[in-house]
Amino acid sequence: MIIASNIEKSFGPQVLFDGVSFLINPGERIGLVGKNGTGKSTLFRMILGNEKQDAGTLSTPKGYRIGALEQHIHFTQPTVLAECIQALPAEKQWDHYKAEIILSGLGFTEQDFQKDPTTFSGGFQVRINLCKALLADPNMLLLDEPTNYLDILSLRWLKEYLNKWPGEMILITHDRDFMDKVTTHTLGLHRKQARKVKGGTIKFYEMIIQEEETYEQTRKNLENKRREMQNLVDRFRAKASKATMAQSRLKMMEKMGTMEKLSAEKNLGFRFNYLACPGKTLMNIKNLSFSYGGKAENNIFSDVSFSIGKNDRIGIIGANGKGKSTLLNCLAGELTPTEGDIAPHPSVNIGHFGQTNIDRLQPDNQVLDEILRSNPSLSLQAAHSICGAMMFDGDMSKKKVNVLSGGERSRVLLGKIISHPTNLLLLDEPSHHLDVESIESLIEELNDYAGAIVIVTHSELILKALAKNLIIFHRGHAEYFHGGYEDFLEKVGWEGEPVVEKKVKGKMNKKEARKLRALERQKNQTASS
């Protein structure tokens, strides 16, 4: 258990926590939410003792062990298995099987166990650190974005593992669907305070809305009362017979005090720029194959055929490294297939959000420069408007790319896409690094987009809310599936999962996905009224 009492923390003029208090009881699994910059990771560092609060106390029971997902990569052992085994408590380091089970669940093969951990990609190195955190047998787990770099199969495995976790846990993740399925409570950082509620994120935001509506109504009532008293004072101040009454009203006003108007919080808000296309089919793909270097042993996918209709919503899913991004890059014209044909309609206009596209942002450019570079015909006013929609208001548009966070760079790339008209969006993990509120905005705008969408994503939330058909990379090949993600789970399912796991409960449909956005809009309207 953890007890926080009146925690205060500032970085220069920026106040993160102002009298934050909360209690985490035995067995509670906490989803920690808040906009980027509200102090979620700072709170983790404080719990671990790596960051000191300016005031207040943060206490844990004697002998209480806290395990955390380390973002810093540092390996000391020659193999992946040996690196993970050393994380086990000394009395359990004989239990190699437990380490192997977790590594397998996170996407490592038996051959990988004996490989040097430094030879793996950054994403798989993070998975090694995640395995070490799960093996450490702590009383509490601190998991900061554990879903980053996990494919959909590993995400589903981790979800089941954490649901069986017997201890306490605090989880930060941009994947709201994942969070709601593995946590018992939601702890939100909001306006420099902390609020805790039993249940998922929707319940937390409903509580915040109710609190802020009550506050705002009380503030307006107080303002009206003060205005009435001030009118009386102004009317009777000069009259000797009423001077005592006026003085009495003035003293009452002093005792009443004032309530500051809540400031409106910024949210991602935009519309994709749609260009009508006369054709019913935007692209025909026939017998597509891709091999690096044209060699059969480097084959990524073979004989893939499908078409993209003008209103299609196609999700591309599967484990990492199977060819999802490669297929999308072929459709975008950034890679040339080894075999097969891609026939786009003459009027097709593509907006491409690719993982490599973010790397192509010019480090020394300002955000505004990047928006203008994507469409030189844009007026300066229009470019500033796009910057504002991407939460780069005013001087924020002058920030250089090299100082932006991952989420900010994702927003810049989205801004570059909406800067010109499109009728086909090719999106590769567009929600990566975005906060929960921004992801909800993205889902809403994608649902409202009039054109076609082909999206690579590991987010089951996005798949359930958006995808009508799928391209599935599994069982050694890629196949087109007529139906949404839940249809796939019920009719086919992922290889290796028991039948009972195929049917997913708690459907996250379009209506529920929009509920959070409606709550956010309501909150902002309350704050700005």
CATH number at residue 512: 3.40.50.300
What is the per-residue pLDDT for 507? 43
Domain count, the chain: 4
Is residue 294 within 8 Å of 449, Cβ to Cβ?
no
Last-in-domain residue among 204, 233, 264: 204
Range with the poorest average pLDDT among 197-206, 286-295, 306-315, 425-434: 286-295
Inter-CA distances, 216 with 34, 203, 265, 518, Å? 21, 20, 15, 18
Q: Is the pLDDT of residue 207 over 50?
A: yes
Bridge-partner residues for 281, per DSSP? 309
* 58 and 148 part of one domain: yes
Tell me which amino acid residue 457 is: T
Looking at residue 70, what DSSP letter applies? -
Q: Is the pLDDT of residue 475 over 80?
A: no
Range with the poorest average pLDDT among 114-128, 242-256, 264-278, 356-370: 242-256
What is the per-residue pLDDT for 501? 43
Is residue 417 within 8 Å of 411, Cβ to Cβ?
no
The terminus-to-terminus CA distance of the chain in angstroms comes to: 40
* 11 and 74 part of one domain: yes
Quick check: is 356 in a domain?
Answer: no
Range with the poorest average pLDDT among 161-175, 313-327, 500-514: 500-514
Inter-CA distances, 525 with 70, 178, 195, 265, 465, Å? 39, 29, 21, 10, 25
* 442 and 297 part of one domain: yes
What is the per-residue pLDDT for 490? 87
* 49 and 128 part of one domain: yes
Quick check: is 152 in a domain?
Answer: yes
Looking at residue 292, what DSSP letter applies? G
What is the per-residue pLDDT for 229? 75
Give percent of the chain above pLDDT 70.
87
* 71 and 110 part of one domain: yes
Last-in-domain residue among 204, 236, 270: 204
Looking at residue 137, what DSSP letter applies? -
* 297 and 216 part of one domain: no
Average pLDDT of every residue of the chain: 85
Q: Is the pLDDT of residue 417 over 90?
A: yes
pLDDT band at 79; cut points 50, 70, 90: very high
Quick check: is 277 in a domain?
Answer: no
How much is the average pLDDT of 106-133? 90
* 96 and 186 part of one domain: yes
For residue 77, the tally of other CB atoms under 10 A from its CB is 13
Domain of 215?
205-256
Bridge-partner residues for 17, per DSSP? 9
Radius of gyration of the chain (CA): 27
pLDDT band at 503; cut points 50, 70, 90: very low
What is the per-residue pLDDT for 92? 81
Is residue 216 within 8 Å of 524, Cβ to Cβ?
no
How much is the average pLDDT of 285-300? 82
Quick check: is 331 in a domain?
Answer: yes
* 200 and 231 part of one domain: no
* 246 and 341 part of one domain: no
* 185 and 236 part of one domain: no
The phi, psi pair for 477, rounded to 5°, reads: -155, 175
What is the per-residue pLDDT for 90? 81
Quick check: is 502 in a domain?
Answer: yes
What is the per-residue pLDDT for 96? 87
* 82 and 140 part of one domain: yes
Quick check: is 271 in a domain?
Answer: no
* 91 and 132 part of one domain: yes
Quick check: is 357 in a domain?
Answer: no
Quick check: is 355 in a domain?
Answer: no
List, in order, residues 6 or more apart from 363 with CB less than 8 Å away: 400, 401, 402
Last-in-domain residue among 394, 420, 446: 420
Inter-CA distances, 201 with 29, 134, 177, 394, 526, Å? 13, 24, 9, 31, 20
**How does strand 424-428 pair with strand 350-353?**
parallel
Closest residue by Cα to residue 110 from 73, 80, 87: 80
**How does strand 29-33 pair with strand 55-59?**
unpaired
- Distance between CA atoms of residues 388 and 528, nearest Å: 17
